[in-house]
Structure 1
Amino acid sequence: MQIIELLTPAYEAAWLPWAVQYFFLVGIATGAALLTSACVFGPGHGAQVGLRQRLLPTAVLLLAVSAASAPVALLADLHQPARFWHFYAHLTPWSWMSLGAVLMPVFVLLSLLMCALWWLGQARWMRWLAPLLIVSTLSIVVYTGAEVMAVRSRPLWNTLWVPINLALSGWLATVGMGFVLYRFLPRPLQPDAQALQALRNLGLWLATGLVISALTWALAGIAGHSPSFDMAVRLFREFPVWRLSMLGSALFGAAVVGALLRGERRLHAKGYTLVLGAGLAASAWAFRWALFMGVQGVPKFGAGLYLYHMPLGGDGLLGMVGVAGLCVALVTLATWALELFPQRQATA
């Protein structure tokens, strides 16, 4: 009998936790950009101020924080300044990462310009800018999803359902962070109960879209038209770590959707909206962690499972804490600015 020993080398993770933070924040930013663009067309004067207009300050705060912090995580994920420069010195239009180097700065500039126009009370110019921001937002949604889907060596990524789920879960995180951050606005700018109810309804529609997407993905896999689903089934059967994470994600997602369904009469309770919003954001973040960090633990070729051990330094826990600290600092700065210039509250 001949014994053949197969050795599978252990590779370092190509995408570090910085990528998780980037895709999480850019998902929130695209959702906030679309929400802001929709809200600027609501009636904004007199007693008939619409629901969308009452949600506008929350959407602008979300857009400012996420659009400013997402590029920081992206630059950190590139590991070295030279790699960032090469995107412009050696432009390759057939590469989604190269296209993203052009699309992302445009999106960030348009987002911050929209926030500045709101600060200055230029509602008319905001309406003119909104179509450009929507087009730029959709380009970021396509670029970020295609960047992952283009990796053919990972069947779990190489599917159209990845960009769809990234977009829907990111926009659901926008709703969640809206529930968390609105309380930091000055009281005249905080949405009322009806506006919060409208935000909850938006979350329900997005959650419904995610459920439909997951069911369609599963049905396509059962019919033999989705290698991504086949890979997910293999991971579930062969790797207990993945089995626990998938079951945990499903149960947590069901709990969050249940909280949305039962929250119609509890939105006035700040503790409830805080927990609900944090849960929505955490579910989107966990999905990205499993998608990026968990998948990289499975070899592209051969057998085995490489468990990722997150470092405590800048490429791991410290970097994640730093991004969270940056977001807190930006929220604090925005709140301080609104308190320092109360005339913006009077013209809101």
Structure 2
Amino acid sequence: MEIIELLTPHYEVAWLPWAVQYFFLVGIATCSALIAAGCAFSAPGSAGDRLLPAAVVVLAVSAIAAPVSLLADLHQPGRFWHFFVHFTPWSWMSLGAVLLPAFVTLALAFCVAWWFNHRGLLRVLGILLITSALTVLVYSGSEVMVLKSRPLWSTPFLPVNFALTAWLAALGAILLVARWLPGGTTLLPAILVRRLVWIGIAGSIITALAWLVTGMTGQDASFIQAQRLFTEFPAWRMSFLGSIATGLAVIMLMSCSPQRLTGPVYSLVTAALLLASGWVFRWVIFMEAQEVPKYGAGLYLYEMPLGSDGLLGMLGVLGLCISLIAIVTWLIGDLRQHIQNARPLV
């Protein structure tokens, strides 16, 4: 009897936690841009107009923090320059090198226009910002989807899920930062916020059902891979069941009276769950998916480093976001009277 031993080499992960932070923040930035640009067309004093300040703060913070995470993920900032001097339009990453700076520029210009209370310019920039945000949503999802070597990524449902979880996370961020703005969460239009959250929930349920149908009919390899991981590995079962539990918790919170969203504790819990849904989804997609060998059996065991490529880097991004939120909300509170006394909207 001959015994043959099969060895599977261990490969380090190619996408570090920096990628999770970047895709999380850029998703929040693009979805908060869609929300803020839509609110710019609301009448003064309306629900959309009351939601605009918090959406602008989230947009400003995430539009600055997301590129920082991307440059950190590239390790060498000079690599970003190579995308310009060696432009390859058939590469999503190369397209992103053009689309992302354009989006960041429009996002910051939109925030400045809101700051100076110029409604006409705000609406013009809003149209451009919506277009730019949609292109970044497509690019950020597609650059992962095109990697056919990993069936969990190679599915058209991935960009849709990225967009929907980013939409929920952006609303969570809006609920979170509103508590530090003048008037706090009590000035938020609770009915509108809940309606926007339900849009994300409904879209997620429809997408999940469509993925289930296409997977069970053998038309989506990512479903087959996910089914195998769920069956064979307890960690993946925990992730799946945890996702369901989080979704049910959000649905329960949204089923209560919308006015409860303006409460300090209720809004904080809701914001935490919405933000967690976006972040954990990306952690599972990027970090846990890389534990699955492209060839062979079992799982690679990933241990997150404590340095700049792991925990320290994640804490650094969190600290950057906290600092930006503190600066922006302080400026808004300090100059609130100036904004109210500005010249009439044009």
Moved more, 109-118 or 262-271: 262-271
Aligned residues: 342
Amino acid of the structure 2 residue aligned with 1:184: W
2:169 and 2:38 map into 1 onto residues whose CA distance is 17
User: Equivalent residue for 1:309?
Assistant: 303
Amino acid of the structure 1 residue aligned with 2:191: Q
1:219 lines up with 2:219 in the alignment? no
User: Equivalent residue for 2:59?
Assistant: 63
Normalised TM-score (structure 1)? 0.95
What is the alpha-carbon root mean square deviation over aligned residues?
1.4
Alignment gaps of 5+ in structure 1: none
CA distance 1:191–1:94, shift in 2 (3 Å): farther
Q: Calculate percent identity across the aligned residue pairs.
A: 53
2:64 and 2:186 map into 1 onto residues whose CA distance is 23
Q: Describe the SS at the equivalent of 1:8.
A: coil
Q: Deviations over 1:96-131 (max 9, x none)?
A: 111101110000000000000111111110111111
Q: Is the 8 A contact 2:185 2:264 kept in 1?
A: no
Normalised TM-score (structure 2)? 0.96
CA distance 1:36–1:268, shift in 2 (3 Å): closer
Shift of 1:264: 2.4
Moved more, 170-179 or 254-263: 254-263
User: Equivalent residue for 1:153?
Assistant: 149
CA distance 1:145–1:347, shift in 2 (3 Å): farther
Q: Within 5 A, what are the aligned runs for 1:117-136?
A: 117-136=113-132
Amino acid of the structure 2 residue aligned with 1:302: G
1:250 pairs with one of 226, 244, 247? 244
Shift of 1:340: 2.9
1:300 pairs with one of 294, 300, 307? 294
Shift of 1:255: 1.3
User: Equivalent residue for 2:160?
Assistant: 164
Q: Is the 8 A contact 2:42 2:49 kept in 1?
A: yes
Amino acid of the structure 1 residue aligned with 2:320: L
Q: Is the 8 A contact 2:211 2:223 kept in 1?
A: yes
1:192 lines up with 2:187 in the alignment? yes
Q: Deviations over 1:12-61 (max 9, x none)?
A: 110000110111111111111001111111111xxxx2111111111111
Shift of 1:262: 2.2
Q: Is the 8 A contact 1:184 1:335 kept in 2?
A: yes
1:102 lines up with 2:98 in the alignment? yes
1:279 lines up with 2:262 in the alignment? no
2:111 pairs with one of 115, 130, 153? 115
User: Equivalent residue for 2:232?
Assistant: 238
Q: Is the 8 A contact 1:204 1:261 kept in 2?
A: no
2:298 and 2:261 map into 1 onto residues whose CA distance is 47
User: Equivalent residue for 1:8?
Assistant: 8
User: Equivalent residue for 1:85?
Assistant: 81
Shift of 1:4: 2.1
